[in-house]
Amino acid sequence: MSRTARGGPVLVVLVVALVAGWLVSGAASVPAASPPASVGWVGTWASVPTATPAVATPVVDDETVRQVVHVSVGGDSVRLRLTNEFGRTALRIGEVRLARRAGTSGTDIVASTDRGITFGGRRSVSVPAGAPIVSDPVRLRVPADGDLVVSVYLPERTPVTSMHNFAIQENVVAAGNVAGERAVVADRTITAWYFLSSVSVRTADRGAVVALGDSITNGFETDLNANHRWPDLYADRSRSAVLNLGVAGNRLLHDPNPPPGSDAESFAAFFGDSALRRFDRDVLAQSGVSDVIVLLGVNDLGHPGTTAPESETVTAEEIIGAHRQLVVRAHAAGLRIHGATILPFKGDTLGFHTPENEAKRQAVNRWLRTSGTYDTVVDLDVALRDPADPLRLRPAYDSGDHLHPNDAGMAAIAEAIPLTLG
């Protein structure tokens, strides 16, 4: 404590000021004060927005979408990023509210933490087609490893054109504007996030880690509502900000392109833009990012001939070239970037594994281990492969499709990543 801070009158003034500030922080929609130099905005949760298939676009009409997000680090103020990036018309939002979740299940909120969210001082807003929107900051004390509930009221018939379909989290849609209610009666339950792409908190300055990946990073095949995706488990282990920018089906080099007439036309849009296309939005635009972990490539090998045309077959050299581009772009932005080897998938039930694809996987992994292009390499192939058959996942880590790790496999991934990146 400084010499002046020890004085009795000065201490009283400081205490009064702190108490006054705390009382003000309880009011809804009070913008956060300018942060001192020791704190800053850091992403604590994120998801990848994607387009929706024309044949399977959900619709919300005079309803409230109440959505649970599991944050990595805490802070004293919050701001949200909503998205209409795949919409072709303006998105009309009637009201948005934010609160801490009551308990560890469901979507009930702690009423005393309910906050109205504004955008340029307005509670309702129109988001232009193709654009995101970032909210005003609002004071709310958010605990690390906690849950927030974001309620979005959509007053008119609204096709859900920008969403994350693989939330591995149950959210609800309720009739009317019930955004501020402690509990709502669900009309239907969804396992997706609608029009919501990130949450940032004001906190002690530290770097956020972006996990850029596909379904393995997204948490596909893990337990519903359990937050057992490897980025969640790594955030718990490292006590750092970790943003999950994985999306099932994602590729490095190609956008979704389902063969005409195939079943994939009903779901391929959910795979998201290629990593090369989405890198600036999903990595560089996040608050307070210092590091990126890349786990991508298996879908570039497996999709051609299954959910994409054979003409999109790629070589190992093309996959390596895409990785080089991610590294160049991260370094140009002053970020550290770390590559993860492609996991084994022999015997998979999706039809990905062939001798040719195995040879490409081996070539890419060899390059990752030896080229020195990434700042560091996390050898997940070694960490999760079966010692009795290194081309397969270890049975204890296998979800059953021989490609996606189960919850134990997710824990093994989180354990394999160093606590200190760099």
CATH code for the domain of 334: 3.40.50.1110
- Of 143, 173, 203, which residue sits at a domain end? 203
Burial class (CB in 10 A: 0-12, 13-18, 19+), 296: buried
287 and 216 co-located in one domain: yes
| Structural domain boundaries enclosing 349 | 207-422
Same domain, yes or no, for 122 and 192?
yes
- Last residue within a domain, chosen from 168, 187, 203: 203
Are 144 and 283 contained in the same domain? no
Which pair of tokens denotes residue 90?
């303006």
* Rounded alpha-carbon distances, angstroms, from residue 303 to 45, 70, 263, 355, 398: 29, 31, 13, 15, 20
Structure tokens, 127: 């988001």
Alpha-carbon distance of 90 to 82, in angstroms, equals: 13
Contact criterion met (CB below 8 Å) for 174 and 184: yes
Same domain, 140 and 255: no
In a domain, 386, yes or no: yes
Verify that 94 and 109 share a domain, yes or no.
Answer: yes
Encoding tokens for residue 22?
């705390």
Report which of 213, 218, 227 is spatially closest to residue 148, judged by C-alpha positions.
227
Do the domain assignments include residue 21?
Answer: no
Would you say residue 15 lies in a domain?
no
- The answer to whether residues 347 and 402 touch, using CB atoms and an 8 Å cutoff, is yes
The string of DSSP codes covering 273-298 is: S-HHHHHIIIIITSTTEEEEEEE--H
Same domain, 335 and 282: yes
Instruction: Please tell me the distance from the alpha carbon of residue 346 to that of residue 368, in angstroms, as a whole number.
Output: 20
The predicted structure's pLDDT at residue 421 = 87
pLDDT of residue 56: 83
Residues 118 and 222 in one domain: no
In a domain, 413, yes or no: yes
What is the reported pLDDT for 11? 34
Q: Is residue 90 part of a domain?
A: yes
- Residue 66 forms part of a structural domain: yes
Which residue, among 150, 233, 173, has the nearest Cα to 408 in the 3D structure?
Answer: 233
Q: How many CB atoms lie within 10 A of CB 92?
A: 14
Cβ 387 vs Cβ 338: under 8 Å: no
Cβ contact 75:44 at 8 Å:
yes
8 Å CB contact between 399 and 360: no
* Eight-class DSSP state of 118: -
Count structural domains, the chain.
2
Domain closes at, from 203, 222, 250: 203
- Which portions of the chain are predicted below pLDDT 70? 1-37, 205, 422
**E strand segments, 6-146:** 39-46, 59-60, 63-70, 75-83, 91-93, 95-100, 115-116, 125-127, 132-134, 138-142
Residues 234 and 358 in one domain: yes
Assess whether 96 and 227 both reside in one domain: no
Domain assignment of residue 374, yes or no: yes
Q: Do 186 and 216 sit in the same domain of this protein?
A: no
Strands 171-175 and 188-190, bridge-based pairing = antiparallel
pLDDT of residue 15: 34
Q: Tell me if 292 sits within 8 A of 330, measured CB to CB.
A: yes
pLDDT computed for residue 51 by the predictor: 98
Both tokens assigned to 361: 């996987």
Q: Are residues 148 and 286 in the same domain?
A: no
Other CB atoms within a 10 A radius of the CB of residue 297 amount to 30
The C-alpha atoms of residue 242 and residue 228 are separated, in whole angstroms, by 13
Strands 95-100 and 115-116 turn out to be antiparallel
Q: CA–CA separation, 63 vs 9, rounded Å?
A: 54
For the CA atoms of 149, 154, 155, 160, what is the dihedral angle to 10 degrees? -150
User: Are 383 and 323 in the same domain?
Assistant: yes
Q: Is residue 88 part of a domain?
A: yes
